[in-house]
Amino acid sequence: MSDRSATAISCSNIAFIKYWGNRDNVCRIPATGSISMNLGSLTTHTTVTFDAALTRDHLTLNGNPSSSQALQRVSDFLALIRKRTGQFLFAQVSSENNFPMGTGIASSASAFAALSLAASTAAGLTLEEVELSRLARRGSGSACRSIPAGFVEWRAGHNDDDSYAVSIAPPDHWNLIDCVAIVSQEHKSTGSSDGHPLAESSPLQQTRVQQTPQHLEICREAILQRDFDAFAKVTELDCNLMHAVMMTSNPALLYWQPATLSIIHAVRAWRQFGLPVCYTIDAGPNVHVIGLQKDQDQITKRLADIPGVQKIICSSPGGAAHRADG
């Protein structure tokens, strides 16, 4: 492995059935399966170069040398690849997001999906999609869902071998749009990695885990049948259940801001009056409003009128992680 380089691009994703809590926090074996859609407008572009002249790993994020915490996480991930190949070169990693940093939009999914493909390729490995998804999971759980295309299901599995994501429908299967309403650009107080281990402390997590197979089934079918009503109902239920777990864990996590709640009320009212929309929220205050592409202008206009909405970023279903250099 001498001076090998590769570049990859990957989309972020939004989960409709959520991942919250792990059976194994080290390998990121989740307590439940999850279902997501890749976000075609939110991508990370990453180049990895293994270089015999380096004495440690280096990371630049959007052109700036990165903090020690982010570098450590990337370095730990690269160590998995070094162990696998038996070749112990350090790497220069350069990663750029096409979406503004600090908007509170999660970037670990697209970041670790792109890093998995770029680093494994640069290290001389040619991994099948399932293997790449398993590898990406070790960097960030949700990243395993950014490897396959379009609408994706992460099969929880029980161990490192059988926990990975697969595509359940290609991007052009359903003309959905995700309009993310940004209500806060602050860094979240408790990141997902610190949040997952708290899930078990909620009295509601066991119930959530028991109900998820049913939610996965309903959501998968709703996507396959393009049944928006069924999809909206299960997506909001699953989101509310995850936030109920967060709010009742010890310590309790409350990610919502007043504007988050205003959007929830608005989306429910719009749907009642006939506009096919629903909401879902990750570990932060921003709201993903899911609707049909033909209604994008109407959705963004309505969101822009809600006090507290600072910015709206819309994405259609995105493709698989892919190489950008060959």
Q: What residue ranges bind ligand DP6 (CB under 6 A)?
A: 15, 18-20, 28, 34, 106, 108, 140-142, 192-193, 196, 282-283
CB of 28 to ligand DP6, least distance (A): 5
CB of 19 to ligand DP6, least distance (A): 3
Nearest to 313 by CA among 6, 36, 97: 97
Overall size of the chain counted in residues? 326
CB of 301 to ligand DP6, least distance (A): 27
**Closest to ligand DP6 by CB, 89 or 105:** 105
Q: How many CB atoms lie within 10 A of CB 311?
A: 16
CB of 156 to ligand DP6, least distance (A): 12
**Closest to ligand DP6 by CB, 196 or 208:** 196
3-class DSSP state of 100: coil
**Closest to ligand DP6 by CB, 284 or 319:** 284
**Closest to ligand DP6 by CB, 7 or 34:** 34
**Closest to ligand DP6 by CB, 31 or 118:** 31
CB of 178 to ligand DP6, least distance (A): 13
Structure tokens at 33: 């399966």
**Closest to ligand DP6 by CB, 18 or 82:** 18
**Closest to ligand DP6 by CB, 154 or 228:** 154
The whole-angstrom separation of Cα 199 and Cα 194 is 10
CB of 136 to ligand DP6, least distance (A): 10
Structure tokens at 21: 């809590």
3-class DSSP state of 60: strand
CB of 326 to ligand DP6, least distance (A): 29
Cβ–Cβ under 8 Å, residues 233 and 241:
no
**Amino acid (1-letter code) at residue 230:** A
Nearest to 229 by CA among 290, 316, 298: 290
**Amino acid (1-letter code) at residue 130:** V
CB of 15 to ligand DP6, least distance (A): 3
CB of 196 to ligand DP6, least distance (A): 5
**Closest to ligand DP6 by CB, 137 or 302:** 137
- The contacts found for 128-133 with CB under 8 angstroms, 24 or more apart, are 129/166, 129/320, 130/164, 130/166, 132/321, 133/164, 133/165, 133/166
**DSSP string for 28-59:** TEESS-EEEEEEEEEEEEEEEEEETT-SS-EE
**Closest to ligand DP6 by CB, 57 or 238:** 238
Task: Tell me, rounded to whole angstroms, the distance of Cα 92 from its chain centroid.
Answer: 24
Nearest to 315 by CA among 43, 35, 97: 43
The whole-angstrom separation of Cα 323 and Cα 326 is 6
φ, ψ for residue 177, nearest 5 deg: -135, 140
